[in-house]
Structure 1
Amino acid sequence: MKWLKNLWQTLNTPAKYLTLGSISLTAFIMGVVFWGGFNTALEATNTEEFCIGCHSMESKPYQELQKTVHWSNHSGVRATCPDCHVPHSWGRKIARKMEASSDVWGWVFNTVNTSEKFEDKRLEMASREWARFERDDSLACKNCHNYDSMKWDTMSKLAQKQMKRAAEKDQSCVDCHKGIAHILPDMGTARAPQLIAEVGTGPSKFTNEQYYFSALTKPLFFSAKGDVEAGTLNVATKVKILESKENRVKVSISGWRKQIGAGRVIYYDFGINMLTAQLSKEAAKTEGVINGFEEKEDEMTGLKWQRVETTLWTDAEYLITEQQPLWDYARTTFRSSCSVCHTQPDEAHFDANTWPGMFQGMIAFVNMDQDTQALVQKYLQQHSSTFVKKEH
């Protein structure tokens, strides 16, 4: 500790030979050197050459960029990696550099060092970037593309309509232009990572005779250990747990089916085409799988419906204790995604049987994986005029 005491005494001793001016000048020069060195290092890590120095970045996203309009166009203006992925304002730039430390971790542990690993992570990485663009109102895009500078008369009528509406709200560009610089992830078969991050995967233990809700669309099985599928359990469906065995649970599913064909599709309620479960032909014909109760005839269609209950097995994961988190996520997704092209209608604007057709006409213009599509559609049906009576 002696050397530390001596250092402290030296630092606290008034200067005997240096003037205040020389000390100030020295401090100024050292500050300039430090700032220059810091800024030089910052800019060195803010170049395209630095970004593609990582093989996984050069072999995938950089190659994809070269096939887009951001690489080659009639104006000759090229967007580089940092133009889009590093904020231009100094404060946000420093924050982004700190966030990028996780990329170093990924490089060290070869997180995306192969094409297969990269594709497995593509949706996760894209979702993170989309969220950042959304948070910053696509400021990186607007550094080059400014609503006030757009020539509306050179656009098509449809483009004018949509872009002027976006300009009025100063809308984030990636709401409509995902995939403009890189290949879009496979949204069709993804397992809704954002949804699961929001609602969780469910408890590790279950209580028999209690109700749970499916957080994703899940396969149904005939037995606790077999791999023969008996059908599909739809997202946001209420089930009763009857028994637990290792990584599966036996569930009871209630609903209504139409008395046509094998009656494989189970709906939420009488006369309402809201999907609860779809059984295989084999399951529908197997004795004891479906128990039938009273029957009713739909006056509008003339079809006979039957109240039923089916008992099958499913994997224990993605069964959660409350349904409201699913509705909260669906509401937010509907109001953010479906307001891109127009003002979205109120949930109670249509009835439960009208919403599926209306919603299917919308999803072609948004990026939603199949689970999220099914959840949002079910949310709209559940909160439609069939169940919510109000003026609109």
Structure 2
Amino acid sequence: MKKIFISLLIPAIFLWAKNIAYSDEVVSLYLNKDDAKVIGKLLPTNPFEILKDQNNKVMIRISGYINPKFPSVIYFNNSQRIIVAAFSKNIKLNYSQIKKGEKGKWDKVNLEIWADKKDFSKDNRKMLNHAKELFVNNCGICHALHSEKEFNVNAWPAIFKSMVNRTSIDKKDQWLVIEYLQKNAKDFKIK
């Protein structure tokens, strides 16, 4: 029992020490702390590290994968289109490469960037449970509720967006539900 507790405690301490956080809503991103122009968006449920806290902004480190041919999007894993953050195409981003992708897989990168300061969470389970409730309570009104595993990662955003206007899901929660559906899709792969 003691070994199990220690094996669970060490990763938790590591995550806490790194100041890992999550947002349950879309967060605006900026190149510099004093910028007013939004150059990107961080999507809900994705982990990021808070590096600095200054007034109404925080510097964060986002980790993920980029397709070198289209570097304006950071993805959750190296082959599926689960968006972590997306940026204006004409913005030059200063990625630090962690690992070069091989055999058609995308490059693993970090990006340090400024974000609006919000009430971030240390855990994304509560927000994922909220997303599941929104899905279950709204997406079976007109038809039988689809299983999260019924569609693949890349299909869920289009399917959800084609029907969301028939639900009472707030616009601010739409990406939360999409991220939940993608991370529970039949072909979802952990990083």
Please give the range of the TM-score, normalised by the shorter of the 2 chains. 0.7 to 0.9
Task: With the length of structure 1 as denominator, give the TM-score of the two structures.
Answer: 0.42
- Separation in structure 2 between the aligned mates of residue 214 and residue 297 of structure 1, nearest angstrom: 33
Equivalent position SS for 1:379: helix
Residue ranges of structure 1 left out of the alignment (5+ in a row): 1-206, 299-303
Equivalent position SS for 2:162: helix
Are residues 1:339 and 2:140 paired? Answer: yes
- Separation in structure 2 between the aligned mates of residue 243 and residue 236 of structure 1, nearest angstrom: 20
- Separation in structure 1 between the aligned mates of residue 146 and residue 166 of structure 2, nearest angstrom: 16
Task: With the length of structure 2 as denominator, give the TM-score of the two structures.
Answer: 0.82
1:294 to 81, 86, 100: 100
- Separation in structure 2 between the aligned mates of residue 297 and residue 357 of structure 1, nearest angstrom: 28
Q: In the alignment, is the contact (CA less than 8 A) between 1:208 and 1:243 conserved in 2?
A: no
2:172 to 363, 371, 376: 371
Return the letter of the residue paired with 1:212.
Answer: A
How much does 1:368 deviate?
Answer: 2.5
Q: In the alignment, is the contact (CA less than 8 A) between 1:215 and 1:318 conserved in 2?
A: no
**Corresponding residue of 1:181:** none
Equivalent position SS for 1:225: coil
- Separation in structure 2 between the aligned mates of residue 306 and residue 212 of structure 1, nearest angstrom: 23
Are residues 1:319 and 2:120 paired? Answer: yes
Are residues 1:243 and 2:44 paired? Answer: no
Equivalent position SS for 1:273: coil
CA distances 1:174-203 after superposition (whole Å, capped 9, x unpaired): xxxxxxxxxxxxxxxxxxxxxxxxxxxxxx
Equivalent position SS for 2:145: coil
Q: In the alignment, is the contact (CA less than 8 A) between 1:218 and 1:234 conserved in 2?
A: yes
**Corresponding residue of 1:260:** 69
What do you get for the CA RMSD once the two structures are aligned? 2.0
Are residues 1:226 and 2:27 paired? Answer: no
- Separation in structure 1 between the aligned mates of residue 140 and residue 22 of structure 2, nearest angstrom: 28
How much does 1:360 deviate?
Answer: 2.1
Equivalent position SS for 1:318: coil
| RCO higher in structure (CA 8 A, sep ≥6) | 2
Bigger strand share: 2
- Separation in structure 2 between the aligned mates of residue 387 and residue 347 of structure 1, nearest angstrom: 11
CA distances 1:313-350 after superposition (whole Å, capped 9, x unpaired): 11211321210111111111101100101111111222
- Separation in structure 2 between the aligned mates of residue 378 and residue 250 of structure 1, nearest angstrom: 23
Q: In the alignment, is the contact (CA less than 8 A) between 1:352 and 1:382 conserved in 2?
A: yes
How much does 1:291 deviate?
Answer: 1.7
- Separation in structure 2 between the aligned mates of residue 296 and residue 367 of structure 1, nearest angstrom: 43
Runs of 4+ in 1 over 6 A off after TM superposition: none
**Corresponding residue of 1:276:** 84
Bigger helix share: 1
- Separation in structure 2 between the aligned mates of residue 346 and residue 281 of structure 1, nearest angstrom: 35
Q: In the alignment, is the contact (CA less than 8 A) between 1:208 and 1:241 conserved in 2?
A: no
Equivalent position SS for 1:269: coil
How much does 1:365 deviate?
Answer: 1.8
Equivalent position SS for 1:330: helix
- The percentage of counterpart residues that share the same residue type is 25
Equivalent position SS for 1:296: coil
Q: In the alignment, is the contact (CA less than 8 A) between 1:235 and 1:371 conserved in 2?
A: no
**Corresponding residue of 2:10:** none
CA distances 1:293-325 after superposition (whole Å, capped 9, x unpaired): 311344xxxxx6222211101121132121011
Q: In the alignment, is the contact (CA less than 8 A) between 2:140 and 2:146 conserved in 1?
A: no
Q: In the alignment, is the contact (CA less than 8 A) between 1:208 and 1:242 conserved in 2?
A: no
Residue ranges of structure 2 left out of the alignment (5+ in a row): 1-15
**Corresponding residue of 1:144:** none
In the TM superposition, what are the counterparts of 1:1-392 in structure 2 within 5 Å?
A: 209-261=18-70, 263-283=71-91, 285-286=92-93, 289-292=94-97, 293-298=99-104, 305-387=106-188
**Corresponding residue of 1:121:** none
